[in-house]
Every structure is written in C-alpha cells, then in structure tokens.
Amino acid sequence: MFDLPVLNSSASESGLYPVSDVANHVNAARKLYVETYGCLMNTNDSEIVKGIMHTSGYAMTDKPDDADVILLNTCAIRDNAEKKIHERLKHLKFYKRRRGDLVVGILGCMAERMREELVVQKNIVDLVIGPDEYRALPDLVEKAFGGEKGIAVKLSRVETYDDIEPLRTEGISAWISIMRGCDKFCTFCVVPFTRGRERSRAAHLIVDETKRLWDAGFREITLLGQNVNSYEDEAARTDFADLLRATARAVPEMRIRYTTSHPYDMSDKLIETMAEFDNICKYIHLPVQSGSDRVLEAMNRNYTVEHYKERLHKIKELMPGCALTTDIIVGFPTETEEEHQMTLELMREIRYDGAFMFKYSPRERTKAWKMEDDVSEDVKTRRLNEIIEQQQRIATEINQTLVGTVEKVLVEGEGRRDATKWKGRTDTNKFVMFPHLTDEANGQTAGYVVGDMVNVRITKATSMTLVGEVVA
Ligand code: SAH
Ligand code: SF4
Ligand code: F3S
C-alpha cells in the first residue's frame, strides 16, 4: 500500500510532504500502521491521521508486524461492518500479547460504541478516538506508550482538518473531503450520530489543494461528502456547483469526480455545471434506496420516485452518456412484497450501470431502530438476491453495448491479479483492464505510464469489468 514510488517521490519533491521531515524521521521513528474500513471518507480520514502522525515524527508501515502503533479506522454503517472489526480485534490481541509495548487504537465511526466495551470491560485496546478528535492522536498515543488509556469521542461542529495535509500514498487518484457529517437523518442511518453535524470546508482551500495535487502528479480527484449537494461555503457564497466549476477551471486537465449526491437537492445548476466541463466525469452515484414512495417517506428521504425520475430525465437530457449508479436497501421495516416489486421495477426502468445493494440492518440511536425489524432474514436474503441477479443482468447488457467502442481511460496502475495488464477507469467510472503493450506484430509499443490518458477499444465486457486494447 505504501510502495508506490512514483507518487511518494513526486509528492515529496513538489513540497507536499516536506522532504526534510521524511528524512529526519525515517530511522528513529516509531512506525504506524493504519487499517481502514468503510467509505471513502474514512479512507481520506486515514490519510489525515497519517498526515498528523507523520508531522509528529511517525514513519508509516504497511505491515502490522512491523508497527509500534496499530490503528483501525472503523465503520458502523451495518451490523456486518462492525462484526468485521470485532473479528479483526481478536487477531490483534495476539499481536499485543507478543509485544507488550504495542499500542492499539480504534478510530472512526465505531468509536462512540466501542469505548465502554473495549477499553473499560475487555481491555483490548489502548485508545478510542472519534472522527473529530484526530488532532489529539499524537498526544494520546504518547500517553498510551506510558500505559495510560485514552478516550476522545466528542463530535465537533467546526472541525474540518482544513490545515492538515493528508498523507496520500496511493495511486494517481486523490480523495478530498469537502465536508464532514450529515444533517439528513435518514431513519435507517447511523452516520449523523457517528460523524455529527454537517460542516463544509472553505472553497478556496479545496481549489488550492486540487492545484497542489496536480503539481504532485495526481491526475484525478474525487470530492467527498455524505451529501455533497448541500456543500456550502457561506462566507464565499459558494455552493457545490460553484465549487465544482472552480476546481474544474483551476486545473482543466484534472479528472474530477464527486460522491455522494442526495436526490433531494440534485440541482439543475449542478447538472448544468457537470455538462459544461469536459474534465468533470460523466458519472453520478445517486442512491434511490427504494422504489416505493411510502418506504421512502418512512426512510425520511424527502423525495418521491417521481422527483427522482425527473432528476434523471434532466441528467440524461444534458448528458446522454452519463453513467448512473445507486444504493438500495431491501427489507426496511414494513416493506411489503409489492413494495419490493416496485424497487425491482424501478431498477428495470432506470437500468443502472451499477448498484450497491444491502439488507436493512437496524442501528442503535436511529429512528428506525425503534421500529420492529419485521422483514425476516430469509425474506431479506431472497429480496436481495432478486435485485442483485436482475442488476447483474442489466449491467452486463449495458457493458456489452460498449464492445467495439473506444473509451478514454486513465492508466491507474498494474492489475492486482495480472501484472501484465494495466488497470484504469473510463470517464463513466467503469473499470477496464488492458495489456501493457499494443500488439508487437504491427510494430507498435506503447510508451504510456501511470497517469496517462489512453484510448482503449473495448473487446469484452462483464457486469463489473471491461477488457480492451490500446489504440492510437
Ligand atoms: N450518504 C449517502 C450514503 C452513505 S451510506 C447517501 O445518503 O446516499 C451508504 C449506503 O449504505 C446508503 O446509501 C444505504 O443504502 C446503506 N445503508 C445505510 N444505513 C444502512 C442500514 N442501517 N442498513 C442497510 N443499509 C444501510
Ligand atoms: Fe446517512 Fe442519509 Fe446522511 Fe446518507 S444522507 S449519510 S443515508 S443520513
Ligand atoms: Fe461507515 Fe462511517 Fe463511512 S459509518 S460508511 S465509515 S461515515
């Protein structure tokens, strides 16, 4: 994870991470290992955490065995996400037994729930630190080395880590959190409780960061927030569409993506801005959750199926080739068979390029937690399988229509399973694999490197992956 020399060196050279710091600490430093679960915001938070710890003199390692400090950045979105962390902690107990002075900490969205159980009752971890308290990490880790347990889980109304340079070590794509928290309070969702109130970063700092990232060798950014549509820099009177325009203009060759949009406030202005700029990717993740208005209301989603479809109409009108993905929850309390059929029907009608599909999972503190979880596990499983099967068929059909077309692909690196192939993504966020070199029979070798934009003719397609070859 940390062995991507292209970026490390170019990032340091550009001054993004001071070279002197790296050099000074490399030998003497204690080593930090961070393992990240959950959404992209957590991924970016882990980079913020590494940035903070790096400034305090820590070196990074991608091997837990080498680490003096192990931090798990956790997710609480569904029960199975939490189960994964509990399993992982069982393993970490062995590490701790082997090395008495190892410090183990829990970060992120499970922090609030973990403190009692893990620090007080079971004594497994030394630190529990919530998403708004990462500045306290160096101090608390230091104390933990002295045997003092640390808990810091207060949520803030203002913390945005604006002045912290995230330590980015992966690839040519960078994530930039433009806001934190969420005020939507969907009745199933724990995020407003784990991450607190919504707050936005200053627009000019995000634009500056984009420019610095370009200079450091990054070729794609993704602006992140749980609901980016409600981004607002009040002082600068900048909404999300304005911010998107400003970043697209500031670095015209940077590929720009964003996630996640909420259908309630997906404005015309935002859609028009996307259509206007070539470097804003034509891909939207727009979670619908359900095809039934009654269920949407019970979820407090604040839109109807009609409104959602009308937004899609506008998107397709201005950007006919725009790809679309979604999130679906099956088995929300009281969801009937008929309402499940409505979701299936809506997905057939819209024909999403992709979907993240989940069984409803009750979360403490949410409104839905007080409702009876009355759709049985068997029915949830069956409904989930039905939407997955249908979605895979649709995605395969959509991707098959791309066979023979030429797509612009950003070269992201070597394939994980097959190092003779490059991997990259299309403007529409579709994953593409293609060989390193063009056919030598016609005398051509491809002189492209990670970060290049290449034309790839698609030769094969499945529901998740495209395969192709580079053309001139
Ligand atoms: N902010 C994004 C979603 C963040 S969570 C949005 O509003 O669209 C990602 C997805 O997890 C959600 O869209 C939802 O489909 C799913 N999810 C959230 N809470 C859940 C729960 N309690 N049970 C099952 N799925 C859930
Ligand atoms: Fe959760 Fe809803 Fe906020 Fe998304 S918009 S993070 S689903 S509360
Ligand atoms: Fe999980 Fe927290 Fe993200 S609950 S999905 S890591 S905001």
Tell me, what CATH number does 354's domain have? 3.30.750.200
How far is CA 407 from its chain centroid? Answer: 24
Mean local confidence (pLDDT), 75-99: 91
Closest ligand to residue 186's CA: 2
- Ligand 1 centroid – CA 389 distance (Å): 20
Whether 17 contacts 167, CB under 8 Å: yes
pLDDT of residue 417: 78
Domain boundary among 99, 119, 152: 152
* 410, 384: one domain: no
Q: Is the distance from the beta carbon of residue 261 to the nearest atom of ligand 3 less than 6 Å?
A: no
Is residue 414 domain-resident? yes
Domain boundary among 400, 419, 442: 400
Q: How many domains are there within the chain?
A: 3
* 45, 68: one domain: yes
Atom nearest to 366 CA in ligand 1 = 22
* 27, 140: one domain: yes
Q: Is the pLDDT of residue 23 over 80?
A: no
Tokens of 158: 């203002």
pLDDT of residue 440: 57
Is residue 23 domain-resident? yes
**What's the CA gap between 195 and 188, in Å, rounded?**
15
- Ligand 1 centroid – CA 301 distance (Å): 11
pLDDT band (50, 70, 90) for residue 25: very low
Whether 229 contacts 240, CB under 8 Å: yes
Mean local confidence (pLDDT), 51-76: 96
* 96, 110: one domain: yes
Q: Is the pLDDT of residue 437 over 80?
A: no
Task: Tell me the CA end-to-end span of the chain in Å, nearest whole number.
Answer: 32
Report the CATH number at residue 456: 2.40.50.140
pLDDT in tens, 154-182: 999 999 999 999 999 778 999 999 999 99
**What's the CA gap between 417 and 331, in Å, rounded?**
35
pLDDT of residue 54: 96
pLDDT in tens, 370-400: 999 999 999 999 999 999 999 999 999 999 9
* 19, 125: one domain: yes
Q: Is the distance from the beta carbon of residue 195 to the nearest atom of ligand 3 less than 6 Å?
A: yes
Closest ligand to residue 131's CA: 3
pLDDT band (50, 70, 90) for residue 306: very high
pLDDT of residue 120: 63
Atom nearest to 300 CA in ligand 2 = 2
pLDDT band (50, 70, 90) for residue 116: confident
- Across 250-259, 312-321, 436-445, least confident range: 436-445
- Ligand 2 centroid – CA 188 distance (Å): 8
Closest ligand to residue 363's CA: 1
Q: Is the pLDDT of residue 194 over 60?
A: yes
pLDDT of residue 15: 32
- Ligand 2 centroid – CA 278 distance (Å): 29
pLDDT of residue 141: 96
Report which listed range, 8-17, 161-170, 241-250, is most confident. 241-250
Is residue 165 domain-resident? no
Q: Is the distance from the beta carbon of residue 470 to the nearest atom of ligand 3 less than 6 Å?
A: no
* 428, 355: one domain: no
Is residue 97 domain-resident? yes
Q: Is the pLDDT of residue 323 over 80?
A: yes
Nearest residue CA, atom 1 of ligand 2?
189
Q: Is the distance from the beta carbon of residue 75 to the nearest atom of ligand 3 less than 6 Å?
A: yes
* 341, 465: one domain: no
* 130, 23: one domain: yes
Pairing of strands 232-233, 238-239: antiparallel
Q: Please provide the average confidence, as pLDDT, over all residues in the chain.
A: 90
pLDDT of residue 436: 77
Is residue 135 domain-resident? yes
pLDDT of residue 419: 74
Nearest residue CA, atom 19 of ligand 1?
189
pLDDT band (50, 70, 90) for residue 322: very high
* 43, 107: one domain: yes
Closest ligand to residue 329's CA: 1
Tokens of 274: 């996307």
Pairing of strands 354-359, 323-330: parallel
* 360, 420: one domain: no
Tokens of 164: 């912290």
Residues in the chain: 472
- Ligand 3 centroid – CA 41 distance (Å): 7
Q: Is the pLDDT of residue 239 over 90?
A: yes
Atom nearest to 301 CA in ligand 2 = 2
Is residue 370 domain-resident? yes
Q: Which residues line ligand 2 (CB under 6 A)?
A: 182, 184-186, 189, 191-192, 226-227, 262
Mean local confidence (pLDDT), 144-154: 91
**What's the CA gap between 159 and 155, in Å, rounded?**
9
* 324, 447: one domain: no
- Ligand 1 centroid – CA 232 distance (Å): 22
Q: Is the distance from the beta carbon of residue 110 to the nearest atom of ligand 3 less than 6 Å?
A: no
- Ligand 2 centroid – CA 298 distance (Å): 14
* 453, 321: one domain: no
Beta partners for 465?
431
pLDDT band (50, 70, 90) for residue 19: very low
Report the CATH number at residue 144: 3.40.50.12160
Atom nearest to 261 CA in ligand 1 = 8
- Ligand 1 centroid – CA 360 distance (Å): 9
Classify each residue of 408-418 as buried b or exposed e, where b means 16 or more C-beta atoms within 10 Å of its C-beta.
ebbbbbebeee
Is residue 195 domain-resident? no
Domain boundary among 373, 400, 427: 400
Mean local confidence (pLDDT), 266-276: 97
Atom nearest to 260 CA in ligand 2 = 4
Closest ligand to residue 301's CA: 2
Is residue 37 domain-resident? yes
**What's the CA gap between 306 and 440, in Å, rounded?**
53
Residue 433's domain comprises: 406-471
- Ligand 2 centroid – CA 191 distance (Å): 6
- Ligand 3 centroid – CA 3 distance (Å): 26
Tell me, what amino acid is at 201? R
